Amino acid sequence: MSLLWDWVFAARRDLRKQGHARLADILGLLPETVCDDEHTRADALAAEGVALATELDLPWIQVYLRHWQLQSRVFHRMEGESALKACVDLVDFAHRTETQGCPQAVCAVQDLAGCYGFVDGPGFAAERLAVAEEALARIDPSWGCFACISGEKAGALRSSAGPAAALAFLDAQTATMTLAGKRYPAQDMPDERLEALIELGRLPEALAFLDEGDRHGHQDAHHERLRRIDRARVLARARRLDEAARSLPGIDEVEATPLFFVPYADALDLLIRGGQLENTPEVGATLTHFVERLRAQGVLRHALELAELAGRLALARGATDDAELHLATMRDLARRLRKPLGALERIAGLAAEIAGELQR
């Protein structure tokens, strides 16, 4: 148990004693619905809970509920620019005199850093790194957010210094958490480790890590689905394409959670290139939907990279017009990035391929 959850349990018990059973229920239900990727329900619960907490003048509970709604909006639904105002608002609210002691207050900073990470991860890497280091200096592994903020720092490191640096940092944090008595601490910050292992081509380790996750990692619907998608990506890279195709969830399991879009598109691309999936117009429509959703949410760099992937696949199936639309999307997104950092080269690459195709 951590400081945070000790407090949440105590708060729920006190609320029940005081006759506020509904708010006590919401405190328990909101994280559950978020972790199960039921985001519409999460929104509905959060609005109601924040209103009740405001009415009862319980600022700590407001911080908790608003953070969990942002957890849904940012870390599951992958909102970027569209969530910035709410994130800044919560950072402000969580650092007032009446909220500063709230164990969830630190997480408001993580929400903001994560949100900028989705707007343009590499572009804001230095700022994200500074924020994560600052937050880690205030806490130790007994805090629930120690793992989340470590994951955030690993993400910033991967954006700036590369996957090996991210992995080395995660190993150090895992060791610290193990010494503090945590079991399977690596599974508390799984995303960045897996991405780093994939980028480094350490596929057997990635698979072993996913196996460990199935046994000892988070067992909620979100993590379970993400592991199936990631397993498909790793297996496809290892040329175990049959197994990869079997592991990949259906699109209906992905739609509600834009955080899955990028890894899911990666898996689709690998399976198409491996001949396991057909490069159909339906695949094109799915990818276009992914790009547009992320663009609308201000997730600039990921949307740009997805547009590039969608453009290449469109070219491969002879849909040059679609490829040109994706190129235009990339140009629009590149203008909005904080720093180009390779975006212009990607645009030039796709433009050249389209030009080559048109000449043929």
Partner 1 sequence: MTEAEVRATGVDIEGLMTVLGDHLYSTPTVALRELVQNAHDSCVRRRLEDPAPFVPRITVLADPQAHTLAIEDTGAGLTRDEIIRYLATIGAGYTRKLRETSADPSLIGLFGLGFLSAFVVSERTSLFTTSYQSPTEGWHYQSRNGERYTLDPCAARPVGTRVVLTLKERFHALADPDALRPILARYCALLPLPVYLGDERVNDAPPPWREPDPHPVRHHRSCLAFAARFERRFEPICTVPVVATPGSDAQGLLWIQDGLTYGTSDNRNLSVFVRGMLLDDDARELLPSWAGFVGGVLESAALTPTASREDLQRDEAFRAVQRALVDSLVKGLAEIARQSPEAWRRVLSRHNEALLGAALCDDRLFTLLADELTLPTSEGDLPVRTVLDRSDRKVHVTLARRGGFEEMLFRALQVPIAAGTRYGVVPMAQRYCDRHGGTVVQLGTSDGDRQIFRRAELDAPSRAFLARELLRPGQELVPARFAPAEVPLVVVPDRDAELKHRIESDAADKRIAAGALSLARLYTGSLDARAAAHLYVNLDSPAIRALLAAQGRDVTAAVKLLRALGALMTGAGEGAGRVDLLTTLAEYGDTICTLLRTA
**Which of 3, 11, 25, 274 touches partner 1 (CB under 8 A)?**
25
Strands (E), 3-149: none
CB nearer to partner 1: pick between 29 and 316: 29
The CB-based long-range contact list for 174-178 (8 Å cut-off, 24+ gap) reads: 176/141, 177/141, 177/146, 177/147
Residue 211 interacts with partner 1 (CB under 8 A): yes or no: no
CB nearer to partner 1: pick between 253 and 357: 253
**Which of 6, 14, 92, 140 touches partner 1 (CB under 8 A)?**
92
Burial class (CB in 10 A: 0-12, 13-18, 19+), 2: middle
- As a whole number of angstroms, the distance between CA 41 and CA 34 comes to 8
Residue 339 interacts with partner 1 (CB under 8 A): yes or no: no
**Which of 15, 27, 45, 248 touches partner 1 (CB under 8 A)?**
45
Task: Render the burial of 290-299: b for 16+ CB within 10 Å, e for the rest.
Answer: bbebbbebbb
- As a whole number of angstroms, the distance between CA 120 and CA 236 comes to 27
- As a whole number of angstroms, the distance between CA 189 and CA 174 comes to 9
Residue 212 interacts with partner 1 (CB under 8 A): yes or no: no
Restricting to residues 52-91, which ones interact with partner 1 according to CB under 8 A? 52, 54-55, 84-85, 87-89, 91
Restricting to residues 4-23, which ones interact with partner 1 according to CB under 8 A? 22
CB nearer to partner 1: pick between 104 and 174: 104
User: Whole-number minimum distance, CB 50 to partner 1, in Å?
Assistant: 8
Q: How many CB atoms lie within 10 A of CB 202?
A: 16
**Residues whose CB falls within 8 Å of the CB of residue 199, separated by 6 or more in sequence, listed in order:** 158, 162, 163
Number of residues in contact with partner 1 under rule CB under 8 A: 43
The residue with tokens 């396991």 is 276
Restricting to residues 112-171, which ones interact with partner 1 according to CB under 8 A? 112-113, 116, 124, 127-128, 130-131, 133-135, 138
Residue 100 interacts with partner 1 (CB under 8 A): yes or no: yes
Q: Residue 58: phi, psi to the nearest 5?
A: -120, 80
Amino acid, single-letter form, for residue 243: E
Burial class (CB in 10 A: 0-12, 13-18, 19+), 335: exposed
Q: What is the DSSP string of 84-106?
A: HHHHHHHHHHHTSTTTTT-TTHH
| Cα Rg of the chain, angstroms | 21
CB nearer to partner 1: pick between 38 and 266: 38
CB nearer to partner 1: pick between 130 and 352: 130
User: Whole-number minimum distance, CB 270 to partner 1, in Å?
Assistant: 23
**Which of 3, 7, 16, 44 touches partner 1 (CB under 8 A)?**
44
User: Whole-number minimum distance, CB 243 to partner 1, in Å?
Assistant: 14
Residue 40 interacts with partner 1 (CB under 8 A): yes or no: yes
User: Whole-number minimum distance, CB 319 to partner 1, in Å?
Assistant: 28
Q: Where do contacts with partner 1 occur on this chain (CB under 8 A)?
A: 22, 25-26, 29, 33, 36, 38, 40-41, 43-45, 47-48, 50-52, 54-55, 84-85, 87-89, 91-92, 95-97, 100, 109, 112-113, 116, 124, 127-128, 130-131, 133-135, 138
